Every structure is written in C-alpha cells, then in structure tokens.
Amino acid sequence: MNNNKHVYAYCCLYYIIHSFYYIMVVNRYLCTLKEFVRNKAHPEGSIAEAYINKECLHFCSMYFRGVETKHNQQERNYDGP
C-alpha cells in the first residue's frame, strides 16, 4: 500500500515537470513570433510575412555553395581530420 503512494507521487511530479517543459517551449516560440511583429495595427499579417521570409531563407540557404550558413558550418568543437 505504501509503495502505491510513492509511485503516485512520482507520476504527479513527472507530469508537473514535463508540463512545465512544454509550456516553456510554447512560450519561447510565442516570443519568437512576437519579435516578427512590425506593424502593430495588423500583427497577423506581419507575423505571416516574416514567417514566410524566414522559411524561404532557410530553404534557400541549404543550397548555397561557398557561403557559410548554419547548415554547412563546422562544429564548434571540431578537432580536424
């Protein structure tokens, strides 16, 4: 009987910790979206426009040759061959 209370407590703690983690992920993404707002009269349009621009640049940067982007740069702790 005592073991069940222990398991229940761990389950509740696990749920609280993971719920907090997902809330932080969502808040971080919302903060990123808030940074996209340029026209406060129409925030939806400026968020959509900035998101499309970001996705287009992300897609195009994967195909650049000879230009260092976040997709083709070396690791920070690269020791060489």
Could you identify the residue written with the tokens 């907090």?
Answer: 20
Q: Write down the H helix ranges in the chain.
A: 2-35, 43-61
Task: Give the per-residue pLDDT at 2.
Answer: 57
For residues 10-33, average pLDDT: 77
Flag whether pLDDT at 62 surpasses 70. Answer: yes
Task: Give the per-residue pLDDT at 3.
Answer: 64
Task: Give the predicted TM-score (pTM) of the model.
Answer: 0.54
For residues 9-30, average pLDDT: 76
Name the residue ranges covered by the structural domains of the chain: 2-61
Here the tokens at position 65 are 């040759």
